[in-house]
Structure formats: structure tokens, C-alpha cells
Amino acid sequence: MTLAQFLQNLLNGISIGSVYAIFALGYTLVFSILGIINFAHGAVFTLGAYFTYTLAVGQFGINGLLSGLNLDLKVPFALSLLIGAILAGLVGVLLERLAFKPLRTRGADSLLALVSSLGVALVIVNAIQYLVGAEIYTFPSQVYGDIKPAMMFEVSGQPVVIRTVQVIIFAVCMVILSILGYLISFTRLGKALQAVAENPTTASLLGISVDKIILATFFMSGFLGGLAGTLVGTSFGIAGPYFGVTYGLKGLAVIVLGGLGSIPGAVMGGIVIGLAEAFVPPDYSAYKEAVAFAFLFIVLLVRPQGLLGRTHIQKV
């Protein structure tokens, strides 16, 4: 591998890895509060991308209920991204109220919550297909305004391409990670969140409304999922209603790799999986998902608790 190729892979890996990180954080937040995996997270990811597309482009294809519709809203991309993510966050809140809370208050097994979230995921995916068909939608490069789609550098005589989308993705992810880090470590909401994650009963006795914290968590989780969906959609296009499924699974790999429930672990896991995929040689790029999961297995053999997960020491 030449230096230029190495740099190119590194760049691609970090960019997509940072999206994996914020997507996986959505799983992690819910897991650390409720101890369950929200299987509808991949569907929320998909929805987020469609929301943003509707706002920023709003031009639909030849299938589905909305076929031929051209909303032409032309909302500026940054605003569409934000609104799309907020809408996805509200879907997260709805999800909690419809799929999780009814089961939780009846004391159902957490496996049931998993199945119920899987059910919601299928409903969302089918609803999207019913509305806009199973076509591929892409964001035209003009949506970002009048910027060049890519920049090219030469490293020892060979080209390295930096796509504008990659820079945008990375910048957005870093901003979101910083805000989230600040929110969790330094604000009252963050402290309450940590308290509920550790012991909901005790938190409630200190006047913390556990219900509100759970809602806030689902909002943040949906927000992160929707945002990640949009970012991947802008980079590779929205490949139909099922496009969140692969990312949903990959997100699971990320949180297991990083250590279940660990926030820095999810970030690190995302970057590691992104890099592992990017360094798959082009001839084998069709198998890069397999490479990511193979990597996961190897790491888990050495560190079953994940990269940054804490081992559970049972105190007697």
C-alpha cells in the first residue's frame, strides 16, 4: 500500500467511523438506562434520512403513495439536517411510549421489548415503502450550497481525494459528540441520566422523574440515529427503506466491540469498525461487512467485555 492509499483509507475510515459512532451512541444511551437493545434504531436511522431528504430536496420518484410529488421545499441543508434529526428524536419518544413503556410497566421480560421494537422497525420500513417506494434517493451536491464536491491532494505523486461530504460528516459528528459529552458530564440532566442508569429506584427517591429521563434518552437516541441516517444518506444515497438494516446490525457490532453501555466505547468502536472496513482492499470491498464482523469476533475472543467495557467483578 502506498502512502497515498494509506491516507485515503484513513480518511474514509475516520469519516464513516464517526457516523457509526454517533449512531451507536443511540443504542448505548437506551441500553445504559433500560438495559435493552432498541431494534428499531436502524429504522429511525432510515426515517431520519427520509425526513431530511423531504425537507432539503422533496422530490419523489415513480412508486408509492407520494409518487411524482415535488415538494420543492428547498430548506437549507443544515436546517433540514437539524429538523430531520429532531423529528427522528420525536419518533424515538413515540417508540418509547408505544413499544417499550406499556411492556415495562407490566413488568414484561426484556426479550419481549426486543421483539416489540423489532415489530415497530418492520412497520416503519413498510410504511416508508408504501409512501415513497423502494427507490434510491440521492442528495444532489447543490444542497450544500456552492461548494466544490471534492478536493484533491497529491502525496508522493499519487492523488488523495477529500470529498466535501466527508468533511461535513466528520465536522457534524465531532460537534455532536462534544455537545453530548458536555451534556452528560457537566449538566444536571447528564448527572440525572447517570444516576438513573446506575439505579432508577434510588434516583426516583431523590426526586428524579425516571419517566422523564427515559423520554429524554429516547429523544437523544432518535436524534443521533436520524442524524447518522442523513449523513450516510448524503454520502452514499438513501438505498431504499431497508437501508438502515445493515447499519442497524453494524451499530450492534460497534457497541459490543466498544463495550456495552460505555459511551467512550461506542465512539472508539465506531471509529475502529470504520477503519477496519476502509482498509479492506478494493478487490474484496463486497465483503467489507464480513471483515468488520470478523474483527469483532477476534477482539471479543481477547476482551469479552469489549474494548472499553468494564469487567463485572462480583463482590460478595
Partner 1 sequence: MKVLLDAERLCRNFGGLKAVNNVTFQVVEGEIFGLIGPNGAGKTTLFNLMTGLTPVSSGTLSYQGERLTGLPPHRIAEKGIGRTFQNIRLFKGLSALDNIKVAQHVRTSSGLWGGFFCTPSSRAEEKRVDEKAWELLKLIGLADRAGELAENFSYGDQRRLEIGRALALDPRVLLLDEPAAGMNSAEKRALTEFIRAIREQFKLTVLLIEHHVPLVMNLCDRIAVLNFGELIAVGNPAEVQKDPAVIEAYLGAE
Residues at the contact surface with partner 1, assessed by CB under 8 A? 183, 186-189, 191-192, 194-195, 198-199, 201-210, 212-213, 216
> At a CB cut-off of 8 Å and minimum separation 6, what does 3 contact?
155, 156, 158
Q: For partner 1, give the closer residue by CB, 121 or 263.
A: 263
CB of 200 to partner 1, least distance (A): 10
For 101, the grid coordinates are: 413503556
Q: Are strands 136-137 and 158-163 parallel, antiparallel or unpaired?
A: unpaired
Amino acid at 83: I
Three-state SS annotation for 40-83 = CHHHHHHHHHHHHHHHHCCECCCCCCCCCCECCCCCCHHHHHHH
Q: For partner 1, give the closer residue by CB, 121 or 176.
A: 176
CB of 307 to partner 1, least distance (A): 18
**Long-range CB contacts for residues 188-194, cutoff 8 Å, separation at least 24:** 189/213, 189/216, 193/33, 193/217
- Cα–Cα distance measured from residue 217 to residue 93, given in angstroms and rounded to the nearest whole number: 8
- Cα–Cα distance measured from residue 87 to residue 226, given in angstroms and rounded to the nearest whole number: 8
CB of 192 to partner 1, least distance (A): 6
Q: For partner 1, give the closer residue by CB, 11 or 193.
A: 193
Neighbours of 86 (CB within 10 A): 17
Q: For partner 1, give the closer residue by CB, 61 or 190.
A: 190
200 contacts 210 by C-beta, under 8 angstroms: yes
CB of 208 to partner 1, least distance (A): 6
DSSP lists the bridge partners of residue 38 as none
| CA–CA–CA angle 220, 221, 222 (5° rounding) | 90
Tell the residue number behind the cell numbers 448524503, with chain if given.
234
Q: For partner 1, give the closer residue by CB, 68 or 198.
A: 198
CB of 217 to partner 1, least distance (A): 12
Q: For partner 1, give the closer residue by CB, 110 or 187.
A: 187
CB of 187 to partner 1, least distance (A): 5
Q: For partner 1, give the closer residue by CB, 244 or 306.
A: 306
CB of 88 to partner 1, least distance (A): 20
16 contacts 278 by C-beta, under 8 angstroms: yes
Q: For partner 1, give the closer residue by CB, 106 or 188.
A: 188
22 contacts 290 by C-beta, under 8 angstroms: no
Tell the residue number behind the cell numbers 475472543, with chain if given.
301
